[in-house]
Every structure is written in C-alpha cells, then in structure tokens.
C-alpha cells in the first residue's frame, strides 16, 4: 500500500545543527505519526517541506506517491494542514470561513452545507458560527483553523502543535477528529510538545533533535518524559564540542 507520506533523506539545512538534516519518515494510511522535539529541533521546517513551503536541499517528499513539487491542485485539496497561526478571513464569520475553506478544498457547492455543519459540530464552534473570525478568542481561532483543515476529510493531515491554545475540551475534540480521520484511512502527521497528549492519539512517536530523528517512544510507555530526555541528552552528548 502506498504511504500517505514518504520522506526520504530530506535535507533543508540552516546550519550544522539547524533545519532538517537527513531525515526519513513514513506515514501509512490509517496511522497517526507524532513528532516530538525541543524548540528548534526542526519539526516546523520538516512540515514546511512536506507542504512544499520550503524547497529541500536534498532528498524527497512524496504524498500518496507523488513528489510534492509535481502535485496537481486536486491532490493538494486532499491535504489538510495547519502551521503557524491559523488562517482565517478576519471579516468573515466562522460559517463563511468554513464555506470558503470547503470550496477551496474542492467540495462541490451542494456538499458544502453538510460539511460545514459537521465541521462546526466536530470542533464545538457551532455557537460562534455568526461571529467574525477577528473577534474569536485564541482557542476558538485555533478550533476554526483546525475545522478548516479537516473540513474536506483529507487523506493526509499535517498539523504543527495543533493543541496550542486549546482548552481540554478542544484537545479531546481534536484527538477524536484525528482518530476518526486515521480510522477512515488517512495518514496524520502531528507535532507537539505535550508527550502525554500525543501518546493518547499517536500510533508512533518519533523524537527529533538537531534536525534528525533520533529514536522513537512507545505510546504506552509509563515514563515518556524520562525516555524522551534520555534520547535527547544522549544525542546532545554525542554532539558535544560540535560547532553550533
Ligand atoms: N528560515 C530560516 N532561516 C534560518 N534558520 C531557520 C529558518 N527556519 C528555521 N530555522 C532554524 O532551524 C531550526 C529548526 O527550526 P524549526 O522551527 O523547524 O524548529 P521546531 O522544532 O519547529 O521548533 P519549535 O518547537 O520551537 O517550534 C532552528 O534552529 C531555527 O532557528
């Protein structure tokens, strides 16, 4: 079966230990792959490369077998993503933002009302449907961004620290939405700083440090934090004395 995402020997260097420095990773259909790492480990750079927002110096990224540089618009419409600040048209209300998101992702006009209704319910923002995006709280803006990313039931989901600003109810809603996507055959790549939280949703947890994947954590592991820091500290020790 073709991987939803296949990254091979990817390099996007910003310095000897910065960026993405030779990294391979796959996300199979039906799986949630988490990326964890300290600030500056390279998670966002990797996600930018996956989404074609930065060009790799070397290596390749394939989405459903197609190199990102050659993806037609219809294939990008099957990718749901949220990086950095959630995008929304500030003067449009929540409902209108979701309608636009659905159309931009190629949903036919007659399918939009049902998709918007499902989306409002999924992330619990129905009561804000007539509120302008510019007036939403940080957490509700994040919920709107996530709703837009997921509105067309994407085959690949790429989310950078998606629980940023979410309250516990939002975290649970997101977890259920990601599980539902994966159970429908999508691949999910998600980064986070919250180990316990990713352990609840991820099938695999890869640890990134200094631009590389340095190991994996077992989601069922009781002492995730300890295991994480052991991997990171061992890697840092290996690089002691290297120039930064
Ligand atoms: N455009 C750029 N120019 C120069 N350096 C960059 C650029 N983008 C990222 N970097 C550097 O690459 C490294 C990785 O950054 P990146 O944002 O990918 O890390 P991250 O794991 O997402 O961090 P965080 O958890 O803080 O979001 C950092 O050292 C960062 O300063």
What ipTM was assigned to the predicted interfaces of this complex?
0.97
Closest atom of ligand 1 to CA, residue 47: 18
> Are 196 and 228 spatial neighbours (Cβ–Cβ below 8 Å)?
no
Give the model confidence (pLDDT) of 24-57 as tens digits.
Answer: 999 999 999 999 999 999 999 999 999 999 999 9
Nearest CA to ligand 1 atom 24: 39
Return d(Cα 186, Cα 203) in angstroms, integer.
13
Short-list 150, 220, 181, CA closest to 27: 181
Distance 113 CA to ligand 1 centre (A): 39
User: How does the average pLDDT of the chain come out, rounded?
Assistant: 94
Distance 210 CA to ligand 1 centre (A): 10
Using CB distances shorter than 6 Å, the residues near ligand 1 are: 14, 18-19, 37, 39-45
Distance 158 CA to ligand 1 centre (A): 17
Return d(Cα 211, Cα 204) in angstroms, integer.
18
Would you kindly state where each structural domain of the chain is located, as residue ranges? 1-78+156-244, 87-153
* CATH architecture entry for 1-78+156-244: 3-Layer(aba) Sandwich (3.40)
Q: What is the pLDDT of residue 244?
A: 53
Return d(Cα 7, Cα 10) in angstroms, integer.
6
User: To the nearest 10°, the Cα dihedral for 223, 224, 227, 232?
Assistant: -150
Lowest mean pLDDT among 13-17, 54-58, 80-84, 144-148: 13-17
Nearest CA to ligand 1 atom 2: 14
Beta bridge partners of 23: 10
């Amino acid at each position: 079966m073709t991987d939803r995402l296949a990254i091979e020997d990817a390099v996007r260097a910003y310095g000897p230990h910065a960026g993405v420095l030779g990294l391979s990773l796959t996300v199979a259909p039906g799986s949630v792959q988490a990326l964890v790492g300290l600030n500056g480990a390279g998670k966002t750079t990797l996600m930018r490369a996956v989404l074609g927002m930065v060009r790799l110096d070397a290596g390749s990224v394939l989405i459903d077998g197609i190199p990102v540089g050659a993806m037609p618009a219809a294939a990008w419409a099957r990718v749901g993503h949220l990086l950095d600040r959630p995008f929304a048209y500030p003067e449009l209300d929540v409902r209108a933002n979701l309608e636009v998101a659905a159309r931009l992702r190629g949903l036919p006009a007659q399918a939009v009302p049902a998709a918007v209704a499902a989306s409002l319910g999924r992330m619990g923002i129905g009561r804000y449907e007539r509120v302008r995006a510019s007036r939403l709280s940080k957490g509700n803006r994040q919920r709107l961004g996530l709703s837009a990313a997921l509105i067309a039931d994407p085959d690949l989901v790429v989310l950078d620290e998606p629980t940023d600003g979410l309250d516990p109810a939002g975290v649970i809603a997101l977890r259920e939405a990601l599980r539902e996507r994966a159970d429908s055959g999508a691949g999910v790549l998600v980064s986070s700083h919250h180990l316990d939280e990713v352990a609840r949703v991820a099938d695999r947890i890869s640890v990134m440090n200094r631009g590389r994947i340095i190991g994996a954590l077992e989601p069922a592991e009781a002492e995730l934090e300890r295991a994480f820091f052991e991997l990171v500290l061992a890697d840092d020790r290996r690089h002691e004395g290297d120039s930064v």
